């Protein structure tokens, strides 16, 4: 996009104007003296001199950028465009507006872009819709495109944190965010690294995390949320494969049974079908539905409210990592409760959710765990008991209408920890934030929570400043 185009767009225009008049090249001595004595409000009458359209967009967008107290540097070609296109009477107002702003350091971030996400449109999304907006709002970005699955994790685990002190921005789906999270938590300095905020520009098949937690599902709104600044703390959960001693971290949900099976099958159709692969795999799996048998043990958040409490079956409170890396400094709720509850039998699905999980695509907006909050210090466990296509179909329909919790074979409980053991030939994989963890042989998964360990860049639009 040329600089001329940028200046014509309402958002870029006022930002460019702001930047222009704070840069030394554009600063005028006469005006700057005046700007110290008068503020924007006192010159309302001058706004009326502007053409109506320009007045509206300039008022709206100038206030957005000055509210942030951000005065981005104005690149030389943009400055030229500013000078050429901005009428003098507008310049007076912008200078006065600038009296309320302070110059802040640029925010340095690493941008990790997955060109394979979703409809493979993340390059277009980032370079055409987002990059210029982030630049104008003061971001200094190093952009790296992933070259293979797992690349984002490698980048996050090896990047020099001093080069991106303001965060890592992921352009893609939930999977790439999950890789970055796991990269950060796999580092030797993970205690520092996990404080690095993660930004999300949604461009994947489904961006449930940013949609549920920040209420954003389009890339431009995501860029504006990043520009406005701030963080949102978020719980992180750990899924440990006990036998292998491997721990994987997540921000959204882990799931077992039908959905994990569908996730595994869907990978076969990724290239051909993109985001529609889940529908195709779901239909195929529905038609050849196997039985899923599990043994589930969970530690409820409020033992008093659960009538079927049993004596503790296990005394030890598993820590997160065998190598001791993750154990230090991260607090899994230390209290050991005497009240594990065990469930055995057939389950169509088991969901362990960190937030209420609203899918970003689809006509309806069903949520799987309506009581889950991303920072409530608990996990929400949903057990869909039973087997058979009829039950599964009813669950799916009820879920679309958000009635699934009313079904007699659905159990919902807030928990601290869950242990899940597939029994017999049951599919023993586990889905975490859209990534499949494959089990082998005898597998036991354990989910625990690391309350408010993570930070997302940006705030919910309704959040108080
Ligand atoms: N260059 C690449 N080539 C192939 N696979 C990649 C590449 N970069 C990343 N991946 C893999 O693509 C997977 C999915 O990425 P991502 O989450 O960004 O998109 P998505 O699957 O379309 O969205 P969602 O996860 O929200 O459904 C990740 O598991 C990641 O490992």
CATH number at 395 reads: 2.60.200.40
Band of pLDDT at residue 29, cut at 50, 70 and 90: very low
| 73 shares its domain with 117 | no
Domain containing 123 — which CATH number? 3.40.50.10330
In a domain, 130, yes or no: yes
| 261 shares its domain with 400 | yes
pTM over 0.80: no
Number of compact structural domains in the chain: 3
| 243 shares its domain with 115 | no
Q: For residues 176 and 22, what is the distance between their CA atoms, to the nearest angstrom?
A: 37
| The token pair that represents 121 in the structure block | 């449109």
Residue nearest to atom 14 of ligand 1 (CA): 175
| 261 shares its domain with 224 | no
Given this model, what pLDDT does residue 119 score?
81
pLDDT tens sequence across 293-302: 999 999 999 7
* Cα(166) to centroid(ligand 1), Å: 23
Mutation choice for ligand 1 from 125, 175, 198, CB with most ligand atoms inside 8 A: 175
Question: Mean pLDDT over residues 391-400, rounded?
Answer: 95
| The token pair that represents 55 in the structure block | 């007045």
Given this model, what pLDDT does residue 332 score?
41
Band of pLDDT at residue 329, cut at 50, 70 and 90: very low
| 162 shares its domain with 301 | no
Band of pLDDT at residue 304, cut at 50, 70 and 90: low
Residue 80 scores a pLDDT above 60: no
In a domain, 192, yes or no: yes
pLDDT tens sequence across 404-458: 999 999 999 999 999 999 999 899 999 999 899 998 888 999 999 988 789 999 9
Identify the burial level of 105 via C-beta atoms within 10 angstroms of its C-beta, where 0-12 means exposed, 13-18 middle and 19 or more buried.
exposed
Based on DSSP, count helices (H) and strands (E) in the chain, helices before strands.
Answer: 18, 14
Given this model, what pLDDT does residue 276 score?
86
| 41 shares its domain with 72 | yes
Residue 286 scores a pLDDT above 70: yes
Contact present, 242 and 338 (Cβ < 8 Å)? no
Contact present, 456 and 464 (Cβ < 8 Å)? no
Given this model, what pLDDT does residue 73 score?
33
Q: How do beta strands 379-385 and 341-353 pair? A: antiparallel
The beta strands (E) that lie in 42-126 are given as 107-113
Q: Does residue 420 or residue 117 have the better pLDDT? A: 420
* Cα(462) to centroid(ligand 1), Å: 30
Find tokens 């963080």 and name the residue.
231
Residue nearest to atom 13 of ligand 1 (CA): 175
Given this model, what pLDDT does residue 275 score?
78
In a domain, 457, yes or no: no
> Is 423 touching ligand 1 by the criterion CB < 6 Å?
no
Question: Mean pLDDT over residues 367-393, rounded?
Answer: 95
| 195 shares its domain with 268 | no
* Cα(3) to centroid(ligand 1), Å: 32
* Cα(28) to centroid(ligand 1), Å: 50
| 161 shares its domain with 57 | no
Point out the domain boundary residue: 45, 76, 98: 98
Mutation choice for ligand 1 from 114, 146, 431, CB with most ligand atoms inside 8 A: 114
Point out the domain boundary residue: 207, 229, 251: 229
- To the query of whether residue 322 is one of the catalytic residues in this protein, the response is no
In a domain, 465, yes or no: no
Beta bridge partners of 108: 140
Phi then psi for residue 79, to 5 deg, are -60, -40
Q: For residues 28 and 49, what is the distance between their CA atoms, to the nearest angstrom?
A: 21
Q: Does residue 119 or residue 197 have the better pLDDT? A: 197
| 250 shares its domain with 353 | yes
Segments forming the whole domain that contains residue 270:
239-452
Q: Of 46, 77, 160, 174, which one is the catalytic site residue?
A: 174
pLDDT tens sequence across 148-171: 999 999 999 999 999 999 999 999
Beta bridge partners of 421: 295
Residue 8 scores a pLDDT above 60: no
> Percent of the chain at pLDDT above 70?
69
In a domain, 253, yes or no: yes
Given this model, what pLDDT does residue 120 score?
85
Question: Concatenated DSSP letters for 144-204?
Answer: EE--STTHHHHHHHHS-GGGSTT-EEEEE-HHHHHHHHHHHHTSTTHHHHTTS-EEEEE-S
Given this model, what pLDDT does residue 442 score?
86
Question: Mean pLDDT over residues 96-116, rounded?
Answer: 73
Residue nearest to atom 3 of ligand 1 (CA): 148
* Cα(225) to centroid(ligand 1), Å: 23
Residue 314 scores a pLDDT above 50: no
Band of pLDDT at residue 362, cut at 50, 70 and 90: low
Residue 69 scores a pLDDT above 60: no
Residue 55 scores a pLDDT above 60: no
Close Cβ partners of 298 (under 8 Å, ≥ 6 residues apart): 340, 341, 343, 381, 413, 415, 417, 418, 419
In a domain, 393, yes or no: yes
| 138 shares its domain with 94 | no
> Is 300 touching ligand 1 by the criterion CB < 6 Å?
no
Give Rg (Cα) of the chain.
25
Residue 462 scores a pLDDT above 50: yes
> Is 34 touching ligand 1 by the criterion CB < 6 Å?
no
| 225 shares its domain with 266 | no
On average, the pLDDT of the chain sits at 76
Given this model, what pLDDT does residue 464 score?
59
Residue 324 scores a pLDDT above 70: no
In a domain, 323, yes or no: yes
| 314 shares its domain with 419 | yes
Residue 88 scores a pLDDT above 90: no
Atom of ligand 1 lying closest to residue 275 CA:
22
Question: Mean pLDDT over residues 299-319, rounded?
Answer: 50
Contact present, 97 and 66 (Cβ < 8 Å)? yes
Given this model, what pLDDT does residue 302 score?
79
Point out the domain boundary residue: 184, 200, 229: 229
In a domain, 459, yes or no: no
């Amino acid at each position: 996009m040329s600089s001329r185009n940028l200046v014509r767009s309402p958002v870029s225009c006022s930002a460019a104007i702001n930047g222009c008049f704070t840069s030394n090249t554009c600063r005028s001595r006469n005006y700057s003296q005046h700007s110290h004595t008068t503020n924007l409000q006192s010159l309302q009458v001058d706004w009326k001199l502007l053409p109506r359209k320009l007045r509206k967009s300039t008022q709206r967008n100038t206030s957005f950028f000055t509210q942030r107290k951000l005065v981005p540097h104005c690149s030389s070609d943009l400055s030229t465009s500013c000078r050429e296109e901005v009428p003098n009477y507008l310049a007076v107002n912008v200078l006065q507006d600038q009296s309320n702003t302070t110059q802040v350091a640029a925010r340095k971030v690493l941008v990790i872009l997955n060109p394979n996400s979703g409809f493979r449109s993340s390059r277009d999304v980032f370079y055409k819709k987002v990059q210029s907006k982030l630049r104008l709002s003061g971001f200094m970005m190093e952009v790296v495109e992933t070259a293979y699955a797992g690349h984002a994790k490698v980048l996050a685990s090896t990047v020099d944190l001093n080069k991106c002190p303001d965060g890592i921005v992921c352009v893609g789906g939930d999977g790439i965010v999950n890789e970055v999270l796991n990269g950060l938590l796999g580092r030797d300095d993970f205690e520092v690294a996990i404080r690095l905020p993660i930004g999300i520009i949604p461009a994947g098949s489904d961006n449930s995390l940013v949609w549920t937690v920040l209420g954003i599902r389009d890339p431009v709104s995501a860029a504006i949320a990043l520009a406005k600044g701030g963080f949102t703390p978020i719980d992180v959960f750990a899924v440990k494969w006990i036998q292998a001693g491997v721990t994987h971290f997540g921000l959204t949900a882990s799931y077992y049974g039908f959905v994990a099976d569908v996730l595994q099958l869907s990978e076969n159709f990724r290239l051909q079908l993109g985001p529609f692969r889940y529908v195709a795999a779901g239909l195929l799996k529905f038609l050849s539905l196997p039985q899923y048998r599990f043994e589930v043990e969970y530690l409820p958040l409020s033992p008093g409210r659960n009538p079927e409490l049993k004596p503790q079956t296990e005394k030890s409170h598993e820590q997160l990592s065998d190598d001791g890396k993750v154990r230090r400094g991260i607090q899994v709720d230390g209290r050991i409760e005497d009240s594990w509850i065990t469930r055995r039998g057939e389950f169509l699905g088991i969901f362990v959710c960190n937030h209420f999980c609203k899918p970003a695509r689809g006509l309806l907006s069903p949520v799987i765990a309506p009581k889950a909050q991303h920072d409530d210090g608990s996990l929400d466990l949903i057990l869909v008991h039973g087997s058979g296509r009829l039950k599964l179909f009813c669950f799916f329909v009820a879920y679309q209408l958000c009635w699934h919790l009313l079904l007699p074979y659905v159990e919902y409980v807030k928990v601290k920890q869950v242990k899940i053991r597939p029994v017999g030939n049951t599919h023993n994989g586990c889905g975490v934030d859209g990534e499949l963890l494959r089990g082998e042989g005898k597998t036991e998964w354990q989910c625990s929570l690391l309350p408010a360990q993570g930070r997302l860049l940006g705030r919910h639009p309704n959040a108080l400043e």
